[in-house]
Amino acid sequence: MTAIELDSLRKQFDDIVALRDVDLTVQSGEVFGLLGPNGAGKSTMIDVVLDYVRPTAGTATVFGLDAQQQTKAVHRRVGVLPDAYHLDGHLSARTHVEFAIESMDADDDSDALLDRVGLGSVTDRLVRGFSKGMEQRLALALALVGEPELLILDEPSTGLDPNGARRMRTIIHEECDRGATVFFSSHILGQVQAVCDRVGILVDGTVVAVDSIGGLQETVGTAETLRITLDSQPGETIESVRQLPDVRNVSVSDGVVSVSCPARQKVAVIDTLRQNATVLDIETREVSLDELFATYTGADG
Ligand SMILES: Nc1ncnc2c1ncn2[C@@H]1O[C@H](COP(=O)(O)OP(=O)(O)OP(=O)(O)O)[C@@H](O)[C@H]1O
């Protein structure tokens, strides 16, 4: 089943095109991360799915329901951590969650939910004294009310400390395990890498790539950087390495050869170098999502 389907979705604010004819499918049960630089259109995409803004053209559906025509039915199935949310400073964390439970006719335990997001010791405190990270945790608790089939989280790690970010990852895994679909936007590439089944990269309103992390690495063709230490200079074998398919960024410094290549080419690279020298050490490093992101967005890194 499809959780979210965007079909030729376009959103224009006067002369700014925030989304350019986007096609995207998120399958039910997957954790999908939407990555993109500032202003790429991530929040606009989420806002259209939730009918907070109307698309200029195209359609968005959630579990087959039209986001613009069947908005209430969509909202009943979705838990949202929005980009901007309003909390009432005069109310406690528990009261916020209790209101949400009541308004959704859900049967969650407010204290258990607050405990889950790490606010178990401040349930009775008024929200006006909360830090940004505490507000974010409360907003996440509100999104979890009613065990939604789809969680939409816009930059969920904003303001969270490392413990909070880890807790967020655990919650995303738990939600996925109980069968929910999770769709979230992020700049924090490590977070996406840790939890996502698939990643979409949005640049200037266009989805430039959708794949698993491994698939993206294969596409870029530099899945790993190899550093091979030799007992002597490689001589002409270095040219042979440069000729190997999908091998890039070949350099030599002090008997250490650096090469970027897909995992399947590692053995060929090492075998070639061994024709002229003895291999003393091999280090490999996976290309991080930061590097992938830079490749797709044309940034320097
Ligand atoms: N209400 C609006 N009126 C005019 N322009 C808007 C409006 N909302 C968004 N935009 C523009 O649309 C583009 C996409 O913005 P959007 O907020 O969706 O990006 P984003 O990827 O979520 O960025 P960020 O990571 O900075 O939150 C930007 O150029 C932004 O200025």
Q: Report whether residue 42 contacts ligand 1, using a CB cutoff of 6 Å.
A: yes
Percent of the chain predicted with pLDDT > 70: 93
CA of 44 from ligand 1 middle (Å) equals 6
SS3 128: helix
- Domain ranges in the chain? 2-211, 220-297
Judged against a pLDDT cut of 90, whether residue 206 lies above it is answered with yes
**ipTM for the complex?**
0.97
Encoded tokens for 113: 């939910």
Strand arrangement of the beta sheet that strand 198-203 belongs to: 78-81, 150-154, 181-186, 31-35, 198-203, 206-211
Record the pTM: 0.80
Domains 2-211 and 220-297 share a fold: no
User: What class, spelled out in words, does domain 220-297 have in CATH?
Assistant: alpha beta
**Residue 42: pLDDT band by 50, 70, 90 thresholds?**
very high
For the stretch 115-145, pLDDT in tens is: 999 999 999 999 998 999 999 999 999 999 9
Report which ligand 1 atom has the smallest distance to the Cα of 14: 4
For the stretch 227-269, pLDDT in tens is: 999 999 888 999 999 999 888 889 998 889 999 887 778 899 9
Judged against a pLDDT cut of 80, whether residue 6 lies above it is answered with yes
Q: Report whether residue 38 contacts ligand 1, using a CB cutoff of 6 Å.
A: yes
For the stretch 262-282, pLDDT in tens is: 777 889 999 999 998 999 999
Out of 3.40.50.300, 3.40.50.970, 3.40.47.10, 3.30.70.3290, the CATH code matching 2-211 is 3.40.50.300
For residues 299 and 147, give the distance between their C-alpha atoms in angstroms, rounded to a whole number. 39
Contact 229, 255 (CB under 8 A): yes
Higher pLDDT, 246 or 46: 46
Encoded tokens for 39: 């202003």
Q: Report whether residue 18 contacts ligand 1, using a CB cutoff of 6 Å.
A: yes
Mutate to test the pocket of ligand 1, among 42, 54, 201 (most ligand atoms within 8 A of CB): 42
Mean pLDDT (the chain) is: 90
Give the pLDDT confidence score for residue 254 in this predicted structure. Answer: 84
